[in-house]
Copies of this chain bind each other. A is one copy, B any other.
Amino acid sequence: MVGMEQHGEALWSIGELAAATGVTVRALHYYDSIGLLRATVRTAAGHRRYTEQDLRRLYCIRTLRSLGVPLGDIATALDGAGPGSLQRLLLRQLAALDDQALQLKQLQRTIRELLERISSHGHAEPAYFMTVLERMTMFGNYFTEDQRRELDERRAGLGQEAMEESRTEWAGLVEEGLRQVDAGVPAGSPEATDLVQRWDELGSRFHSSEGTKAAARTMWNENSAELSKALPWTAQQMQALVAHLQAARQHS
């Protein structure tokens, strides 16, 4: 072991440190280069010598890193503001992981649905892929898990009849949207903005406190859920409608 018994302090070469901690030499080089873990001592020839303090710091770094914390955050937590900064970091990371876990659950459910669809139906038609995509992006971007639960409760509260009614109404809106697309109605026209407004109103029935914005997205979700059950429209029609509504929403 290099430098043992010198001034009563133990010094490790980079290879020894790597072997002992399981971190690669390259990683240590990298940590040094970004200033996260500089070797306290350098020999005359430029070889790195690590102290026991460095070792302890390395353990902290690797632990946090294995918990998924990015190196930049580790650096600020270890160098920056003293007490409590580590705690705050861990709390943030825990929250981030919670988010990730929820997303993972979403993905797993979606994949299982896709697999069922494939095995029962023989194959997956592209149109179905579209509906899956719709639901995922809408869901992922606009709702937290809590909000999702709230929506489920609200839907349960509305009852079967109201749900059926809304579905018919929604189908009517889609039909009109397609008519507008076919007729070439411009996105800025009153017809189009009116459609968007009724669209959002219908959505707002399923959502109260959070306002119309999120409600519109809810409607999109109902949308794709319905589509997955019965697909009376082609992919091309749907994409045209999507584009039309998006454009109209920007104009209004």
Contact with B along A16-56 (1 / 0, CB 8 A): 10011110000000000000000000000000000010011
A114 CB-CB contact with B under 8 Å: yes
CB-CB < 8 A to A127: which residues of B? 56
Q: How many copies does the complex hold?
A: 2
- Complex Cα–Cα for A105 and B102 (A): 11
* Surface stretch bound by B, among A89-97, A200-208, A211-219: A89-97
Q: Which residues of B contact A111 (CB under 8 A)?
A: 67, 90, 93-94, 97
- CB 8 Å contact bits of A91-132 with B (1 = contact, 0 = none): 101100110110011011011101100110001101101101
Interface residue tally on A, bucketed by range: 35 or more
A163 within 8 A of B: no
Binds B, one of A154-162, A167-175, A189-197, A236-244: A236-244
Of the stretches A57-65, A142-150, A225-233, the one at the interface is A57-65
Q: Is residue A133 within 8 Å, beta carbon to beta carbon, of the partner chain?
A: yes
Least distance between A56 CB and chain B CB atoms (Å): 4
Bound Cα distance A121, B39 (Å)? 30
Contact call B118/A19, Cβ cutoff below 8 A: no
Q: Compute how far the CA of A10 lies from the CA of B55 in the bound complex, rounded to whole angstroms.
A: 64
Could you tell me the distance in whole angstroms from the C-beta of A246 to the nearest C-beta in chain B? 7
A55 / chain B contacts, CB cutoff of 8 Å? 235-236, 239
Q: Assuming A59-B129, A66-B137, what are 20 further A-B pairs, CB within 8 angstroms?
A: A19-B243, A20-B246, A21-B239, A52-B235, A55-B239, A57-B126, A63-B129, A63-B130, A67-B110, A67-B111, A67-B136, A83-B123, A86-B124, A90-B115, A94-B111, A97-B107, A98-B108, A100-B104, A101-B101, A101-B105
